[in-house]
């Protein structure tokens, strides 16, 4: 989980099948990601939003690394390696 003004860098041994950002508060703001196919730049999401579900690592991201930063709210970062 990320809380207000926190950031996280994740390095995976192998690429996950999906990377999802899940808001655990009514609203999460200031979300910025790097290293993902669909990146966010100071984005805002609300509960029940599906815009941050099932992202993947960016093409050519051979380091299998991505980062997420949060301005406000509580945000879960979920990685799915097998279904």
pLDDT tens sequence across 7-40: 999 999 999 999 999 999 999 999 999 999 999 9
Q: Which domains does the chain have, with CATH numbers?
A: 7-80 (2.60.120.320)
pLDDT tens-digit profile of 25-82? 999 999 999 999 999 999 999 998 888 999 999 999 999 999 999 999 999 999 999 8
Residue 82's pLDDT is what?
81
Task: Report pTM.
Answer: 0.92
Residue 48's pLDDT is what?
86
Buried b (16+ CB within 10 A) or exposed e, 1-40: ebeeeeeeeeeeeeebeebebbbeeeebbbbebbbbeeeb
Residue 83's pLDDT is what?
64
Residue 5's pLDDT is what?
98
């Amino acid at each position: 989980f990320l809380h207000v003004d926190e950031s996280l860098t994740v390095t995976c041994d192998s690429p996950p099948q999906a990377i999802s950002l899940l808001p655990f508060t009514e609203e999460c703001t200031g979300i910025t990601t790097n290293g993902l196919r669909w990146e966010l730049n100071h984005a805002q999401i609300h509960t029940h939003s599906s815009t941050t579900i099932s992202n993947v690592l960016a093409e050519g991201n051979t380091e299998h690394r991505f980062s997420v930063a949060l301005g406000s709210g509580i945000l879960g970062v979920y990685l799915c390696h097998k279904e």
